[in-house]
């Protein structure tokens, strides 16, 4: 990895590199003539007119030491799953090289390695053989695999009749019973129910205690913070960060926020082009800006637990109001609201205001947000609470990660 990390309880002993990815690039050819008729018609013509080259990875280099747990993060289409498949030898890179050592077990796409017309029992033996187990070794582990997967009477049913959760449970059970040195896990664990996800996390922690290497693709910052000691962030096929899990989750959120803002701007432009008449209707009120500030008015991007947070909302009224209201809420990146309030809830409506720009300030004393990225939403409403303007995710702030806690609330905790 490229960042030096300070020693903390989250760090785990690491050994020599077990995976070395050097300058790896991967290109896929996407054909536009998908039907047989189209291919017959275009046969003999210049191929480049009917196909497109998509570069999934661009000169990626990553070193993964033994005994570490690495989280691969990034927005959709960033190349995470492609990199995981290349590391596992499922697909070959277009250029560059990958050096590996040790036995791999991979849990990738739902049902990968399973034949739909075979029973669960037959697929256990087939998948175990693919992962390097002999028939005798699989016999010895079979009962344990079935017990872990909680398949029960369905073990002799064709897997094409399995639910997505049953697929994942059986695939994960086979993978972890092959005694791998390196476990590759894609986002498929999100398919299982909460109880099985906890069971999988317990097994992963057991593997960590045994010094095995785990490479995990995940969109969940909380999951990466909980089980990973290092993180790699990909964006548009390139490594934009490699270092501690806490820092990686922050970079990941910054990448997602940048993409969200670009999409919102593009959507506004498209809406204006499709419905130019909407621009003729001037809003009664609008939110010009939302800022996160310290007491002295300086802009805050990082907030520590215990800090006072000043949320300043700049409102432009097209007409005067005798009484009006505002509201503010704070969400996590997944959309979970962690705080919501407003002048109506506080029974402190705003008084008379003329047309033009005015400012409202909310002060959150002694904030207790846990580590992570947070988004601030604001609203302007009339005297009765009818919304006049809303600004979603108008501001953001980051709270440094605390490896001793998870969740959205920071607390001083002691064990006695």
Give the CATH number of the domain where residue 334 resides.
Answer: 2.70.50.60
- Residues 81, 194 within the same domain: yes
106-124 mean pLDDT: 80
* Structural domain contains residue 361: yes
Instruction: Confirm whether 161 is domain-assigned.
Output: no
Regarding whether 77 and 214 lie in a shared domain, the answer is: yes
- Residue 379: the pLDDT is 93
Q: Looking at the domain assignment, is residue 231 inside a domain?
A: yes
Total domains in the fold of the chain? 2
Residue 23 domain-assigned?
A: yes
Are 378 and 290 spatial neighbours (Cβ–Cβ below 8 Å)? yes
Query: How does DSSP classify residue 370?
Result: P
Compare 55 and 9 and report the one with higher pLDDT: 55
190/43 same-domain check: yes
Largest CA distance in the chain: 84
Claim to verify: residue 246 and residue 348 sit in the same structural domain: no
Higher pLDDT, 88 or 188: 88
Q: Which residue has the tokens 């790896």?
A: 24
By C-alpha distance, which of 92, 105, 146, 102 is closest to 124? 146
Q: Are residues 58 and 193 in the same domain?
A: yes
Contact 218, 224 (CB under 8 A): yes
Same domain for 348 and 208: no
Give, to the nearest 10 degrees, the angle between helix 135-149 and helix 164-176.
Answer: 140
- Domain with residue 197: its CATH number is 3.40.50.300
Q: φ and ψ at 31, to 5 degrees?
A: -85, 140
Residue 205 has pLDDT above 90, yes or no: no
Give mean pLDDT, residues 133-144: 91
- What's the pLDDT at 9? 38
Per residue in 384-409, pLDDT (tens digit) is 888 898 888 889 999 988 777 778 88
Asked, for residue 264, whether it belongs to a domain, the answer is no
- Positive or negative: CA dihedral 234, 238, 244, 249: negative
Residue 314, domain member (yes or no): yes
CB 243 within 8 A of CB 63: no
Query: Are 95 and 204 contained in the same domain?
Result: yes
pLDDT digits (tens, 9 = 90+) for 257-282: 676 666 666 666 666 666 565 555 55
CA 280: distance to chain centroid? 40
Nearest one of 132, 73, 137, 72 to 104, comparing CA atoms: 132
Q: Which of 60, 66, 101 is nearest to 84 (CA)?
A: 60
| 69-73 and 230-235 strand pairing | parallel
Do 234 and 373 share a structural domain?
no
Q: Are residues 187 and 294 in the same domain?
A: no
Same domain, 242 and 305: no
DSSP 129-146: HHTT--HHHHHHHHHHHH
Q: Which two tokens stand for residue 299?
A: 């802009």
DSSP assignments along 205-266, one per residue: HHHHHTT-EEEEE-S-HHHHHHH-SEEEEEETTEEEEEEEHHHHHHHHHHHHHHHHHHHHHH
Last residue of a domain, one of 255, 274, 303: 255
Domain, as residue range, for 378 = 283-399
Q: What is the DSSP string of 318-345?
A: SS-BSSEEEEEEEE-TTS-EEEEEETTT
pLDDT digits (tens, 9 = 90+) for 291-342: 999 999 899 889 999 999 999 999 999 999 999 999 999 988 767 789 999 9
- Does residue 294 lie within any of the structural domains? yes
Q: Is 358 or 269 the better-scoring residue by pLDDT? A: 358
Q: For position 41, what pLDDT does the model report?
A: 60
- 217 and 348, same domain (yes or no): no
pLDDT, tens digit (0-9, with 9 covering 90-100), for 209-234:
898 999 988 877 777 877 888 999 99
**Co-location of 376 and 306 in the same domain:** yes
pLDDT over threshold 60, residue 46: no
pLDDT for position 174: 87
Residue 309 Cα distances to 261, 296, 303, 397, angstroms: 23, 11, 8, 10
Note whether 309 and 367 are within 8 A (CB): yes
**In this structure, is residue 118 part of a structural domain?**
no
Summarize the confidence of residues 37-60 as an average pLDDT. 69
Question: Model-level pTM?
Answer: 0.65
């Amino acid at each position: 990895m490229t960042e030096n990390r300070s020693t903390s309880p989250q760090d785990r002993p690491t050994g020599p590199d077990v995976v070395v990815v050097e300058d790896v690039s991967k290109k896929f050819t996407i054909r536009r003539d998908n039907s047989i008729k189209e291919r017959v018609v275009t046969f003999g013509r210049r191929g480049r007119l009917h196909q497109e080259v998509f570069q999934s990875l661009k000169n990626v280099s990553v070193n993964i030491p033994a005994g570490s747990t690495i989280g691969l993060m990034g927005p959709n289409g960033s190349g995470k799953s492609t990199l995981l498949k290349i590391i596992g030898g499922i697909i070959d890179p277009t250029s560059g090289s990958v050096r590996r050592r040790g036995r791999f077990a991979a849990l990738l796409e739902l049902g990968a390695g399973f034949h739909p017309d075979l029973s669960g029992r037959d697929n256990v033996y087939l998948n175990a053989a693919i992962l390097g187990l002999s028939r005798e070794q699989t016999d010895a582990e079979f009962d344990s695999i079935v017990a872990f997967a909680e398949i029960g009477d369905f073990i002799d049913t064709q897997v094409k009749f399995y639910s997505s959760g049953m697929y994942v449970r059986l695939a994960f059970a086979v993978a972890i019973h092959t005694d791998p040195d390196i476990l590759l896990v894609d986002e498929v664990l999100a398919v299982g129910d909460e109880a099985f996800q906890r069971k999988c996390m317990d097994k992963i922690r057991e593997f960590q205690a045994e010094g095995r290497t785990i490479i995990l693709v995940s969109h969940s910052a909380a999951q990466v913070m909980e089980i990973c000691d290092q993180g790699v962030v990909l964006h548009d096929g390139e490594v934009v960060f490699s270092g501690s899990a806490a820092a990686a989750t922050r970079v990941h959120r910054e990448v997602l926020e940048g993409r969200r803002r670009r999409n919102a701007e593009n959507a506004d432009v498209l809406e204006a082009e499709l419905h130019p008449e909407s621009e003729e209707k001037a809003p009664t009120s609008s939110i010009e800006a939302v800022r996160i500030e310290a007491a002295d008015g300086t802009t805050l991007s990082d907030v520590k637990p215990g800090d006072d947070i000043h949320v300043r909302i700049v409102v432009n009224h097209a007409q005067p109001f005798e009484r009006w209201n505002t509201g503010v809420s704070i969400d996590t990146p997944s959309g979970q609201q962690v705080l919501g309030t407003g002048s109506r809830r506080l029974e402190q409506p705003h008084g008379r205001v003329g047309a033009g720009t005015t400012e409202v300030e909310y002060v959150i004393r002694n904030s207790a947000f846990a580590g992570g990225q947070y988004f601030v939403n604001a609203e302007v409403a009339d005297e009765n609470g009818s919304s006049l303007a809303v600004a979603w995710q108008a501001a953001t702030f980051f709270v440094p990660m605390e490896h001793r806690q998870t969740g959205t609330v920071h607390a001083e905790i002691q064990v006695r």
